[in-house]
């Protein structure tokens, strides 16, 4: 029949496209269709990495790679042994896309253009005669025991498929539909976001400063217990913005603490240790040493602990310490207060902002229902789910795409072997 396929992939994003291409490479004669509800495919690929497409991250050991996934780290460990970052970079190389590793570990095409990846995927779809149907959404699907085929009803037609693969991304509408089919869904909450300060004017003059720091969250909220709050810590590069704080340190905290921060309604105190790992006593002793060895120098020019000079002077100003004060004239009481300020400055957070163009959710199809040997849905024949529609998400840096590539490879292997 004209509308009968070996595999129908619902969702024209990274996971759906890569899985379809992988299956076509495994089974050249397979009849494959990609179904996309919007007019355009691969839109998230297009905007990723500021339009450069952060395809993956340079972590080449499965266990280390899995540690970048707040949800899904255990489940992805097995699949990562089959296909991970090095495999994706090699696959791109085989398809004439050279990649480069930047200083922070992110991997991009040498072209610095996401269109390079999109053109590659579209070219391979054409080469393998993979059909792409846009502006068409599915409205229902069910499995016919007699024919052993999936009936897929769309806004325009009815399709039949031996294998049905869902890769619809973070779609509340699809999750709601799946719930009617008896598939459990973990309610979605935002992940990967920046923090808004209640009094943003307090730090506005510092916007653009980036420094290494560690942070922790405190709150007085009956919805969150002490053990949950204890987990809300992070460290790494911290970026001060006009509205609050961002950077890897904050984004990691937002990802790992997504559900707890949601329960707090994004109202909490953020404590920043500007020295990253030193405690107050260590910093106090270091300041005493500065007082004794740099007696005639102004405290404003003695910035240490790798802090930016502007931030150092700002912290002094907040304590009412004149930056022109000579080190020898600072009292032990002033130095003690400065040590406390450097290791535990508190800021009141009263909201969040989406990180750049990205919107990542924690939530989706419950992972207990997925067989990660081939990403099939348990108790459903020849039904598979991939990518961000599952309760899997990662920190920023190309890891969410790697989940898509790995899932795409593994599901294609599974279908080809069935």
CATH number of the domain at 26, please: 3.50.50.60
- Tell me, rounded to whole angstroms, the distance of Cα 180 from its chain centroid: 28
Residues 362 and 313 reside in one and the same domain: no
Averaged pLDDT, 314-334: 96
Q: Which of left, alpha, beta for 320 (phi over 0: left; psi -120 to 50: alpha)? A: left
Of 354, 369, 388, the last residue of a domain is 354
The helix or strand, by DSSP H or E, that contains position 248, with its residue range, turns out to be helix 248-256
Confidence of residue 358 (pLDDT cuts 50, 70, 90): low
Q: CB–CB of 374/384 below 8 Å?
A: yes
Q: How many helices (H) and strands (E) does the chain have?
A: 14, 20
Residue 360, pLDDT score: 83
Averaged pLDDT, 67-79: 97
Q: Look up residue 22 and give its DSSP letter.
A: H
Of 316, 337, 354, the last residue of a domain is 354
**Structure tokens of 279?**
């405690």
Confidence of residue 1 (pLDDT cuts 50, 70, 90): low
Question: What is the share, in percent, of the chain residues with pLDDT greater than 90?
Answer: 95
Residue 2, pLDDT score: 75
Question: What is the share, in percent, of the chain residues with pLDDT greater than 70?
Answer: 99
Residue 334, pLDDT score: 97
Confidence of residue 354 (pLDDT cuts 50, 70, 90): confident
Count CB neighbours of 12 within 10 A.
25
Q: How far apart are CA 300 and CA 325, in angstroms?
A: 8
Residues 158 and 263 reside in one and the same domain: no
User: Do the bridges between strand 131-133 and strand 32-35 make them parallel or antiparallel, or are there none, so unpaired?
Assistant: parallel
Residues 164 and 70 reside in one and the same domain: yes
Count CB neighbours of 395 within 10 A.
24
Q: Is the pLDDT of residue 356 over 70?
A: no
Q: What's the mean per-residue pLDDT of the chain?
A: 96
Q: What is the pLDDT of residues 220-259, one digit of tens each?
A: 999 999 999 999 999 999 999 999 999 999 999 999 999 9
User: Do the bridges between strand 149-154 and strand 244-246 make them parallel or antiparallel, or are there none, so unpaired?
Assistant: unpaired
Q: Is the pLDDT of residue 25 over 70?
A: yes
Residue 402, pLDDT score: 98
- Tell me, rounded to whole angstroms, the distance of Cα 378 from its chain centroid: 26
Residues 85 and 227 reside in one and the same domain: no
Averaged pLDDT, 374-378: 98
Residues 244 and 159 reside in one and the same domain: no
Which string of DSSP letters, residue by residue, matches 355-380? -TT--EEEEEE-GGGEETTTTEETTS
Confidence of residue 46 (pLDDT cuts 50, 70, 90): very high
Of 354, 388, 403, the last residue of a domain is 354
Q: How far apart are CA 78 and CA 24, in angstroms?
A: 23
Residues 169 and 116 reside in one and the same domain: yes
Residues 134 and 166 reside in one and the same domain: yes
Averaged pLDDT, 359-376: 94
The domain of 38 spans 4-189+358-417
Q: How many separate domains does the chain show?
A: 2
Residues 36 and 145 reside in one and the same domain: yes
The helix or strand, by DSSP H or E, that contains position 240, with its residue range, turns out to be strand 233-240
Residues 39 and 134 reside in one and the same domain: yes
Q: What is the pLDDT of residues 164-220, one digit of tens each?
A: 999 999 999 999 999 999 999 999 999 999 999 998 888 989 999 999 999 999 999
Q: How far apart are CA 355 and CA 72, in angstroms?
A: 21
Percent helix, percent strand, percent coil in the chain, to nearest 5: 40, 25, 35
Residue 357, pLDDT score: 59
Q: How far apart are CA 382 and CA 384, in angstroms?
A: 7
Q: CB–CB of 55/117 below 8 Å?
A: yes
Q: What is the pLDDT of residues 96-144, one digit of tens each?
A: 999 999 999 999 999 999 999 999 999 999 999 999 999 999 999 999 9
Residues 350 and 201 reside in one and the same domain: yes
Q: Is the pLDDT of residue 329 over 90?
A: yes
Residues 74 and 177 reside in one and the same domain: yes
**Structure tokens of 185?**
């869904």
Q: CB–CB of 87/409 below 8 Å?
A: yes
Q: How far apart are CA 71 and CA 201, in angstroms?
A: 35
Residues 326 and 375 reside in one and the same domain: no
């Amino acid at each position: 029949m004209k509308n009968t396929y070996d595999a129908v992939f619902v969702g024209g994003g990274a996971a759906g496209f890569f899985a379809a291409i992988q299956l076509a490479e495994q089974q050249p004669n397979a009849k494959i269709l990609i179904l996309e509800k919007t007019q355009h495919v691969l839109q998230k690929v297009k905007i990723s990495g500021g339009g450069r497409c952060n395809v993956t991250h340079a972590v080449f050991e499965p266990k280390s790679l899995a540690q970048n996934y707040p949800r899904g780290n255990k489940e992805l460990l097995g699949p990562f042994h089959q296909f991970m970052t090095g495999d994706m970079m090699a696959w791109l190389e085989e398809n004439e896309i050279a990649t480069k590793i930047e200083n922070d570990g992110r991997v991009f095409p040498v072209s610095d253009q996401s269109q390079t990846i999109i053109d590659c995927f579209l070219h391979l779809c054409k080469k393998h005669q993979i059909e792409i149907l846009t502006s068409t959404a599915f409205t229902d699907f069910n499995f016919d025991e007699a024919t052993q085929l999936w009936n897929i009803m769309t806004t325009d037609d009815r399709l039949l498929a031996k294998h049905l693969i869902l890769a619809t991304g973070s779609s509340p509408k699809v999750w709601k539909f799946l719930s009617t089919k008896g598939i459990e869904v973990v309610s979605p909450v935002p992940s990967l976001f920046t923090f808004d300060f209640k009094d943003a004017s307090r730090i506005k003059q510092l916007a653009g400063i980036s420094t290494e720091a560690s942070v922790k969250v405190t709150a007085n909220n009956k919805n969150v217990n002490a053990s949950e709050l204890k987990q809300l810590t992070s460290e790494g590069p911290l970026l001060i913005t006009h509205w609050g704080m961002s950077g890897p340190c904050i984004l990691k905290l937002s990802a790992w603490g997504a559900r707890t921060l949601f329960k707090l309604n994004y109202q909490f105190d953020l404590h920043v240790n500007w020295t990253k790992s030193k405690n107050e006593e260590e910093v106090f002793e270091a300041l005493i040493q500065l007082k004794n060895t740099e007696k005639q120098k102004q405290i404003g020019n003695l910035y240490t602990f790798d802090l930016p000079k502007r931030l150092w002077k700002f912290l002094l100003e907040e304590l009412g310490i004149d930056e022109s004060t000579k080190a020898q004239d600072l009292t032990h009481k002033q130095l003690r207060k400065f040590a406390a300020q450097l290791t535990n400055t508190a800021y009141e957070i009263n909201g969040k902002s989406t990180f750049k163009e990205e919107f990542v959710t924690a939530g989706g199809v419950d992972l207990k229902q997925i067989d990660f040997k081939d990403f099939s849905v348990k108790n459903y024949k020849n039904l598979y789910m991939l990518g961000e529609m599952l309760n899997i998400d990662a920190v920023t840096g190309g890891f969410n795409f790697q989940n898509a590539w790995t899932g795409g490879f593994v599901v294609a292997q599974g279908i080809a072997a069935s």
